[in-house]
């Protein structure tokens, strides 16, 4: 038997000593179980949906479906607005201001990091 | 020190805010000679504003406290007005280890009723004090007040012949007689020049220098004794409380939710819809006192997420819903770690400046979250509205307003309070205090109305005392 096996054996024996009173105590508990076991766990019927809305769980899926439709509608409206604007007044490239240029540089540096 | 001059008056009143004008109001039609000392001038000055700067540590910083007590005629009420809500029985009775108020809700209600005109309101607003405590949520609105002109116009005060007003008189500290039972002198400064005046035994002093200022005076070191005059209890400056404020989220609500409540028969001029948890539930759930008020959300384009929620629940419940912002104003527990201390540096008036520690505890924060979440559930279950509870706003952005309270609290025993039930400093026969510094607990509402109520009560007490002496 080497040193590692000795250590392993002593650790196991120590665990057996520590666990035995607990095990015997368990044996004394009646089969009906402790009274606390009959208390139902508290379950919150509401959930936090998306941006923190407190809603019942059953409303989650229909809300998500409706939101997907609304989001698509909004995106299409934005796209259509942009197209209309582009057709009615062709965009001219305005010269960039100093602050715009600075923003470009800062933006690039930020992206780099 | 032998005085070369005296403040010769029956009552020396320190400060001109609602805390002292409410006291003076009870005494002005008497023969009593009243001397009023105001640290600031009739108008705000840079010199006076500089006096309230402190080293601010914790959740309220950037001269936040200094903005809530001021050296100017009329005090903080000159600068701030707005929401008022009364305390309730639950706040006074020592729930869950909180210190008790040394008075009943019936007595406080009486003084609320009498003092309502001092904040420009009808006495019927005191009907809000008592409500159905068995309800889960009670619609208990804030009264939006306009403080009357008397707090900015000194001519209205000195119309009474028995009142003398001296501005720019900053009280620094008191001295006591050899018996240690009477205040016998006041150190003060005018334009930074420190002076002394004697006080006779028969003179009563009313200290109303602000929620922080009252304690600052009682913490100044004494020349010939170890304990500062007024801090014999060792409690001055401890258990500083304020009112955490934070937007908790937004919600689409049935217009009924924000309709004027009719249960209290109040003649409102202006009011703000607000809800609180009923006292029975607060006790049962171990909550702090918190209110959620509702204001119409700023007009703007709604996100697809908001449009979805509105459309879904309007269709589901068959009613129109309006978007509102939800805002919590809440109680902070008295915690001895939250305190003021004096530092070596002095301000321009010659007083040691303050270092202020005020940090929210887990229960302060959790009560905001729990109340907001319970309110969201309540609206949902009753088909009254749908709302958000914004975690980051509550736990990362909760802040002021300050409403400094609790640091010279009154009580029933000198063992756990600075002042007795009549707001007299336990150790002295002639030193009284008024202001939010007396409050053992703070409730959730702006303290101005309660300060006015306690001031009238103190004024009445002094009147009775002088009658007895005469």
Model confidence pLDDT, tens digit, residues B381-426 = 999 999 999 999 999 988 876 789 999 999 999 999 999 999 999 9
pLDDT on residue A90: 56
Partner-chain residue, chosen from A52, A56, A71, that has the shortest CB–CB distance to B304:
A71
In this predicted structure, the answer to whether residue B329 has a pLDDT above a threshold of 60 is yes
Most A CBs within 10 Å: which of B285, B297, B312, as the mutation test of the A interface?
B312
Distance, CA of B313 to CA of A104 (rounded, Å): 44
The closest of B396, B387, B388 to A52, measured between CA atoms, is B388
Burial class (CB in 10 A: 0-12, 13-18, 19+), B3: middle
Distance, CA of B320 to CA of B220 (rounded, Å): 60
pLDDT on residue B456: 98
3-state secondary structure (DSSP) of residue B177 = coil
Taking CB atoms within 8 Å and a gap of at least 24, the contacts of A53-60 are A53/B305, A53/B309, A53/B386, A53/B387, A53/B388, A54/B373, A54/B376, A54/B377, A54/B380, A54/B386, A54/B387, A54/B388, A54/B389, A55/B309, A55/B380, A55/B386, A56/B380, A59/B312, A59/B316
- Phi–psi pair at B410, nearest 5 degrees: -100, 155
The closest of B407, B435, B409, B411 to B102, measured between CA atoms, is B411
CA-based nearest distance A59→chain B, Å = 9
CB atoms B380 and A54 under 8 Å: yes
pLDDT on residue B9: 97
Per-residue tokens: B81? 């007005």
Distance, CA of B22 to CA of B453 (rounded, Å): 8
pLDDT classification of A3: cutoffs 50, 70, 90? very low
pLDDT on residue A89: 65
Residue of A nearest to B311 (CA): A66
**pTM of this prediction?**
0.86
Least confident stretch, A80-89, B179-188, B338-347: A80-89
In this predicted structure, the answer to whether residue B308 has a pLDDT above a threshold of 90 is yes
pLDDT classification of A93: cutoffs 50, 70, 90? low
CA-based nearest distance A41→chain B, Å = 17
In this predicted structure, the answer to whether residue A17 has a pLDDT above a threshold of 50 is no
Burial class (CB in 10 A: 0-12, 13-18, 19+), B470: exposed
pLDDT on residue A25: 40
Cα angle at B308 between B304 and B313, to 5 degrees? 160
The 10s digit of each residue's pLDDT in B201-257 is 999 999 999 999 999 999 999 998 999 999 999 999 999 999 999 999 999 999 999
Burial class (CB in 10 A: 0-12, 13-18, 19+), A87: exposed
The 10s digit of each residue's pLDDT in B101-128 is 999 999 999 999 999 999 989 999 999 9
In this predicted structure, the answer to whether residue A6 has a pLDDT above a threshold of 50 is no
A8 CB neighbour count, 10 Å cutoff? 12
Distance, CA of B186 to CA of B177 (rounded, Å): 12
Using a CB-CB cut-off of 8 Å, the residues of chain B touching A62 are 312
On whether any CB of chain B is under 8 Å from the CB of A51, the answer is yes
Residues 6+ apart with CB under 8 A from B223: B1, B175
pLDDT on residue B66: 73
Scanning the structure block, which residue is given the tokens 């903080």? B76
- Phi–psi pair at B441, nearest 5 degrees: -135, 160
Partner-chain residue, chosen from A54, A62, A63, that has the shortest CB–CB distance to B373:
A54
C-alpha to C-alpha distances, B67 to B50, B152, B243, B342, B367, nearest whole angstrom = 11, 17, 15, 18, 27
CB B212 within 8 A of CB B157: no
Please give the average per-residue pLDDT across B140-147, as a whole number: 88
- What mean pLDDT, rounded, does chain B reach? 94
pLDDT on residue A38: 59
- Phi–psi pair at B415, nearest 5 degrees: -70, -30
């Amino acid at each position: 038997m080497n040193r590692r096996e000795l250590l392993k054996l002593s650790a196991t024996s120590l665990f057996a000593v520590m666990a035995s009173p607990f095990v015997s105590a368990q044996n004394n508990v009646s089969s009906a179980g402790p009274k606390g076991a009959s208390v139902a766990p508290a379950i919150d019927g509401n959930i936090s949906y998306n941006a923190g809305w407190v809603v019942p769980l059953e409303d989650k899926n229909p809300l998500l479906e409706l939101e997907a439709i609304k989001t698509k509608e909004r995106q299409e409206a934005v796209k259509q607005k942009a197209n209309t604007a582009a057709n009615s007044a062709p965009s001219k490239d305005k010269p960039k201001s100093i602050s715009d240029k600075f923003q470009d540089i800062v933006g690039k540096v930020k992206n780099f990091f | 020190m032998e005085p070369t001059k005296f403040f010769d008056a029956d009552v020396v009143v320190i400060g001109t805010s609602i805390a002292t004008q409410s006291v003076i109001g009870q005494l002005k039609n008497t023969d009593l000679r009243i001397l009023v000392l105001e640290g600031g001038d009739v108008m705000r000055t840079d010199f006076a504003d500089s006096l309230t700067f402190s080293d601010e540590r914790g959740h309220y910083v950037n001269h936040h406290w200094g903005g809530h007590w001021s050296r100017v005629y009329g005090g903080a009420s000159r600068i701030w007005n707005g929401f008022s809500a009364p305390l309730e029985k639950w706040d006074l009775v020592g729930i869950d280890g909180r210190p008790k108020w040394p008075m009943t809700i019936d007595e406080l209600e009486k003084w609320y009723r009498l003092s309502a005109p001092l904040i420009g309101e009808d006495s019927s607003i005191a009907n809000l004090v008592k409500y159905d405590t068995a309800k889960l949520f009670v619609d208990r609105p804030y009264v939006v007040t306009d403080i009357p002109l008397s707090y900015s116009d000194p001519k209205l005060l000195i119309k009474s012949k028995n009142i003398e007003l001296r501005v720019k008189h900053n009280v620094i500290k008191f001295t006591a007689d050899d018996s240690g039972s009477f205040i016998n002198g006041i150190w003060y400064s005018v334009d930074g020049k420190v002076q002394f005046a004697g006080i006779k035994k028969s003179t009563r002093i009313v200290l109303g220098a602000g929620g922080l200022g009252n304690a600052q005076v009682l913490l100044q070191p004494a020349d010939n004794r170890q304990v500062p005059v007024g801090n014999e209890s060792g409690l001055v400056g401890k258990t500083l409380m304020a009112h955490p404020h934070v937007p908790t989220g937004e919600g689409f609500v049935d217009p009924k939710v924000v309709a004027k409540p009719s249960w209290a028969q109040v003649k409102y001029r202006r009011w703000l819809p607000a809800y609180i948890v009923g006292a029975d539930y607060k006790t049962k759930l171990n909550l702090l006192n918190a209110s959620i008020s509702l204001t119409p959300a700023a007009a703007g384009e709604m996100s697809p997420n908001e449009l979805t929620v509105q459309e879904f629940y309007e269709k589901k419940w068959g009613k129109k819903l309006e978007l509102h912002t939800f805002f919590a104003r809440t109680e902070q527990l008295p915690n001895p770690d939250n305190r003021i201390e004096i530092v070596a540096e002095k301000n321009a008036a010659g007083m040691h400046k303050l270092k202020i520690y005020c940090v929210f505890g887990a229960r302060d924060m959790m009560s905001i979250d729990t109340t907001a979440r319970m309110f969201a559930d309540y609206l949902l279950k009753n088909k009254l509205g749908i709302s958000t509870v914004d975690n980051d706003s509550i736990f990362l952005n909760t802040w002021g307003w300050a409403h400094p309270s609790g640091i010279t609290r009154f009580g029933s025993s000198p063992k756990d309070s600075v002042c007795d039930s009549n707001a007299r400093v336990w150790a002295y026969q002639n030193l009284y205090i008024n202001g939010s510094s007396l409050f053992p607990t703070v409730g959730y509402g702006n303290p101005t109305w309660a300060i006015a109520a306690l001031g009238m009560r103190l004024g009445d007490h002094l009147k009775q005392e002088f009658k007895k002496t005469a």
